[in-house]
């Protein structure tokens, strides 16, 4: 995967990619203590533009607060400015931005207050996260044998690095079984989300999605709810059982990395016609217009570099 770039933003300055390293004895590596974001920047007719940069910066600071970091020195405005700077320095147009707040020193007693927080921001050109053909053909998923986090165990509102061990368990199992992605149920057995995406169902022209209590409050999810409502669809947040997945007309997933992708098959059952359905297609198309600056919502959602 081409993760390389010319520069990475590390603790306030741009450093060459090869120098953006952390020592092996960094507690965040050993215990998964860190918070991160995944953000996309899109090529538009007015130059590169970061999709919902402010919301991502806010969620990064919220994740840090949830994990327990106190008195971090970065404001939302400074973070957005740093995202712009690192994209611009690398000369990228379409790219993915990855800020991580971690403990650069100390914290070996499992106490955040004993460590020094640091921030790094990498950027790279990342095309289709779920594969080149996923956008058109859709992907195949299974319901994972692993359960998604309980909100009082792993803090589902936060993108904590350690939370992604759960996603890795599910995704690895799913791919080894021959699927593309894993669907995860919450500890009560209701539909939660995928390993890195939120999930929507379409039945008889209405759109359904699980409530946010046990899932990451996706920024793409939020944008798609707005887009769907703009298009006149009713979007219903409700508890959804596993069997409902098998009988609806369409299922799609969304996230910053994956964007909008249909599920064509779940647990060896064809969903709808076994390919992207019309509602998913329409929402996917509007989403692509919005991120490229070609939609009335773009003005609110894009931060030009
Ligand atoms: C577990 C999980 N759910 C949902 C999402 C989608 O969130 P967003 O649309 O903000 O990228 C992500 C990706 O960040 C994720 O990791």
**pLDDT tens column, 59-110:** 999 999 999 999 999 999 999 999 999 999 999 999 999 999 999 999 999 9
Task: Give the residue, by CA position, lying nearest to ligand 1 atom 15.
Answer: 196
pLDDT at 1: 65
Where residue 135 falls among pLDDT bands split at 50, 70, 90?
A: confident
297 pLDDT band, cuts 50/70/90, is very high
Q: What atom of ligand 1 comes closest to residue 257's alpha carbon? A: 11
Give the pLDDT mean for 222-244: 98
The confidence score (pLDDT) of residue 134 equals 84
For residue 150, what pLDDT is reported? 94
User: Beta strand 181-185 with 191-194: parallel, antiparallel or unpaired?
Assistant: antiparallel
Cα angle vertex 213, ends 207, 217, to 5°? 70
Per-residue pLDDT at 277: 97
**pLDDT of 126:** 87
Find the length of the chain: 305
Distances (CA, A) of 104 to 24, 115, 165, 194, 225: 11, 7, 21, 30, 38
Mean pLDDT of the chain: 96
User: Could you tell me if 118 and 111 are in contact, meaning their C-beta atoms sit under 8 angstroms apart?
Assistant: no
Across the range 265-280, mean pLDDT stands at: 97
Q: How many A from CA of 194 to the centre of ligand 1?
A: 9
> Counting atoms of ligand 1 from 1, which one is nearest the CA of 220?
9
What pLDDT does residue 237 have?
A: 98
Please answer whether residues 8 and 82 qualify as being in contact, where contact means their C-beta atoms are separated by less than 8 angstroms: no
Residues with catalytic roles: 159
Specify the residue with its C-alpha closest to ligand 1, atom 1: 196
| Closest residue to atom 13 of ligand 1, CA basis | 196
Q: Ligand 1: which of 37, 198, 223, 261 to mutate, judged by most atoms within 8 Å of the beta carbon?
A: 198
Distance 195 CA to ligand 1 centre (A): 8
Q: What is the pLDDT of residue 230?
A: 98
pLDDT at res. 127: 83
| Model confidence pLDDT, tens digit, residues 138-157 | 999 999 999 999 999 999 99
The whole model's pTM is what? 0.97
Which residue ranges have their beta carbon within 6 Å of ligand 1? 38, 193, 196-198, 216, 218-221, 255-256
How far is ligand 1, taken at its centre, from the CA of residue 256, in Å? 7
pLDDT of residue 128: 79
Report the alpha-carbon distance of residue 78 to residue 97 in Å, rounded. 15
Ligand 1 pocket mutation pick from 38, 148, 301 by most atoms within 8 angstroms of CB:
38
């Amino acid at each position: 995967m081409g993760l390389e770039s010319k520069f990475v933003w590390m603790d306030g300055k741009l450093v060459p990619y090869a120098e953006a390293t952390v020592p092996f004895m960094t507690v965040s590596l050993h215990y998964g203590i860190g918070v991160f974001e995944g953000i996309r920047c899109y090529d538009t007719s007015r130059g590169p533009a970061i999709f919902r940069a402010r919301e991502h910066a806010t969620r990064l600071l919220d994740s840090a607060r949830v994990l327990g970091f106190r008195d971090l020195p970065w404001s939302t405005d400074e973070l957005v400015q740093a995202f712009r700077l690192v994209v611009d320095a690398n000369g990228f147009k379409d790219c993915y931005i990855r800020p991580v707040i971690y403990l650069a020193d100390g914290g070996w007693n499992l106490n955040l207050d004993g460590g020094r927080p640091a921030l790094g921001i990498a950027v790279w050109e990342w095309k289709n996260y779920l594969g080149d053909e996923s956008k058109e053909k859709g992907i195949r998923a299974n319901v994972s044998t692993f359960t998604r986090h309980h909100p009082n165990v792993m803090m589902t509102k936060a993108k904590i690095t350690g939370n992604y061990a759960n996603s890795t368990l599910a995704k690895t199992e799913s791919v080894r079984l021959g699927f593309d992605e894993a669907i995860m149920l919450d500890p009560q057995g209701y539909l939660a989300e995928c390993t890195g995406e939120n999930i929507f169902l379409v039945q008889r022209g209405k759109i359904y999605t699980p409530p946010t209590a046990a899932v990451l409050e996706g920024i793409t999810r939020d944008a798609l709810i707005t887009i769907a409502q703009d298009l006149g669809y009713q979007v219903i947040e409700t508890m959804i059982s596993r069997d409902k997945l098998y009988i609806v007309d369409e299922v799609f997933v969304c996230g910053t990395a994956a964007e909008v992708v249909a599920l064509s098959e779940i647990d060896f059952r064809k969903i709808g016609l076994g390919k992207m359905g019309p509602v998913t297609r329409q929402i996917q198309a509007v989403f692509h217009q919005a991120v490229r600056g070609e939609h009335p919502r773009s003005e609110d959602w894009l931060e030009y570099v």
